[in-house]
Amino acid sequence: MPGRDYYQILGVDRGADKKAIKSAYRKLARKCHPDVNPNDKRAETRFKEISEAYHVLGDAEKRKLYDQFGDNWSRVGAGAGAGQPGGGFTANAGGPEGFSYDFGGGDFSDVFETLFGQSRRAGRTRATLNKGQDIEHEIAVTLDEALSGTTKRVQLSLREPCQSCHGVGGRTQTCGACGGSGMQKQGGGIFNLGSPCPRCHGQGETLSDTCGACHGSGSVDSTRKLDVNVPAGVKDGSRIRVGGQGGSGAGNGASGDLYLRVRVEKDAFFERRGDDLHCELPISFPEAALGAEVQVPTKKGRVNMKIPAGTQSGQTLRLSGLGAPHLRGNGHGDQYVKIKIVVPNDLTEEERFLIKEMASKRTENPRSHLKV
Ligand SMILES: [Zn+2]
Ligand SMILES: [Zn+2]
């Protein structure tokens, strides 16, 4: 599992200064604080993430370490949290001075204790770091559904952590190679430097008994059905985030998020451009020449539209407010009606005669303005 991107969690770029990080944290913390969102597990999880990210990025030294360690941060942290409750361990930052920082000890849990009044607990660090995967899934909607909003049943095929063994793969025992610390011992003294134990990969535990339900893999195939609310005004390519409906986290880890990518199916009559709807309306030559009132299909039913006398083929008329609803804010786009004059191809003798009569009375040349 890749390390968490604390910068992404706080929504700041990697070069952000202390002030920008603090302000981003304050803004997010206000929004997600458990007091503001009582009984909202997702907000609580998010709040913990934010706090954790700020705890590291808000401290110049820790931030430097995080920048150096990258992905190792979560792997190393996971081993310590699970293997040595409250004990923690030190990791070498690589500098010649042998500077070390306690990844797995009281630091994070102390923060949480202060914020939530929870007691420090073994496995806590591991749980927060084993968040489930984010999933992307495509849903198709008709233009009507995209315009008026709908509820869609989504079926996801997932690889989920096995419930029988909680994603572990079987019964575990303390790793014999490292004695449960998750670290390969090298030297000793105050700075107990080392790298993750190769036998248990830093987990501090190895499998002693394979789980029958998942055959030791720790995960099983599963399907999940859920009804998702598609808001009015979504566009082709819109992404809808469904918090907590991604892959389940391992152990007590939070679930990932589900991202639904919306595909709007082509409509036979309407074409959407932004929040406007475009369509083509066939009218007859007499309607165009003499003017008429015709009916136009809109997404709010048929409406009457006045065709002015002398309307040309290709001319576009606007029906105000009959487009798509604006996704944010009020109001609608417009509907644009492009006129297409239809020429009859089944004239009777009498009709041919009448048209010829009319033509003989007209002297204009519609191509007179063309230079070539
Ligand atoms: Zn080990
Ligand atoms: Zn299992």
More confident residue, 110 or 353: 353
Structural domain contains residue 244: no
The ligand minimizing its distance to the Cα of 164 is: 2
Top-confidence range, 39-48, 105-114, 127-136, 275-284? 275-284
Structural domain contains residue 309: yes
The ligand minimizing its distance to the Cα of 220 is: 2
* Residue % of the chain over a pLDDT of 70: 78
CB contact at 8 A, 287 and 308: no
Cα 218 to middle of ligand 2, angstroms: 5
Structural domain contains residue 94: no
Tell me the average pLDDT across 64-80.
56
Structural domain contains residue 356: yes
First CA to last CA distance, the chain = 69
78 pLDDT tier (thresholds 50, 70, 90): very low
Cα 55 to middle of ligand 1, angstroms: 28
Tell me the average pLDDT across 341-360.
95
Cα 124 to middle of ligand 1, angstroms: 19
109 pLDDT tier (thresholds 50, 70, 90): very low
- pLDDT value of position 110: 34
Residue 281, domain CATH: 2.60.260.20
Domain that holds residue 297: 271-360
Cα 220 to middle of ligand 1, angstroms: 26
Q: How far apart are CA 49 and CA 40, in angstroms?
A: 14
Cα 46 to middle of ligand 2, angstroms: 28
Considering its fold, how many domains does the chain have in total?
A: 1
Structural domain contains residue 319: yes
Cα 192 to middle of ligand 1, angstroms: 15
- Counting beta carbons within 10 angstroms of the beta carbon of residue 310, is it exposed (0 to 12), middle (13 to 18) or buried (19 or more)? exposed
Q: How far apart are CA 143 and CA 304, in angstroms?
A: 22
Q: How many helices (H) and strands (E) does the chain have?
A: 10, 15
Average pLDDT of the chain? 78
Q: How far apart are CA 336 and CA 19, in angstroms?
A: 49
CB contact at 8 A, 197 and 181: yes
Q: How far apart are CA 334 and CA 341, in angstroms?
A: 22
Tell me the average pLDDT across 237-260.
84
- pLDDT value of position 309: 97
Q: Tell me how far the alpha carbon of residue 15 is from its chain's centroid.
A: 24
* Residue % of the chain over a pLDDT of 90: 33
Cα 184 to middle of ligand 1, angstroms: 7
* Structural element, H or E, at residue 294: strand 292-298
Cα 226 to middle of ligand 2, angstroms: 25
116 pLDDT tier (thresholds 50, 70, 90): very low
Cα 78 to middle of ligand 1, angstroms: 13
Structural domain contains residue 323: yes
Residues in the chain: 372
Tell me the average pLDDT across 32-53.
77
Cα 159 to middle of ligand 2, angstroms: 12
CA dihedral 93, 95, 100, 103 (to 10 degrees): -10
Asked whether residue 164 carries a pLDDT value surpassing 70, the answer given is yes
Structural domain contains residue 262: no
* pLDDT tens per residue across span 276-285: 999 999 999 9
190 pLDDT tier (thresholds 50, 70, 90): low
Cα 181 to middle of ligand 1, angstroms: 7
Q: State both tokens at 349.
A: 């003798």
Q: State both tokens at 321.
A: 């407010």
Cα 255 to middle of ligand 1, angstroms: 27
* pLDDT tens per residue across span 3-40: 678 888 888 888 888 888 888 888 887 777 766 677 77
Place of tokens 């952000």: 16
Top-confidence range, 114-128, 219-233, 346-360? 346-360
- pLDDT value of position 187: 56
The ligand minimizing its distance to the Cα of 197 is: 1
Structural domain contains residue 171: no
CB contact at 8 A, 119 and 131: no
Cα 52 to middle of ligand 1, angstroms: 26
More confident residue, 110 or 36: 36
196 pLDDT tier (thresholds 50, 70, 90): confident
Cα 87 to middle of ligand 2, angstroms: 28
355 pLDDT tier (thresholds 50, 70, 90): very high
- Counting beta carbons within 10 angstroms of the beta carbon of residue 206, is it exposed (0 to 12), middle (13 to 18) or buried (19 or more)? middle
Q: How far apart are CA 137 and CA 79, in angstroms?
A: 32
CB contact at 8 A, 187 and 63: no
Q: Could you tell me which residues are beta bridge partners of residue 139?
A: 262
Tell me the average pLDDT across 279-299.
96
The alpha helices in the chain, defined as continuous H runs, are 6-10, 18-32, 41-57, 60-69, 72-83, 106-116, 124-129, 143-148, 285-290, 349-360
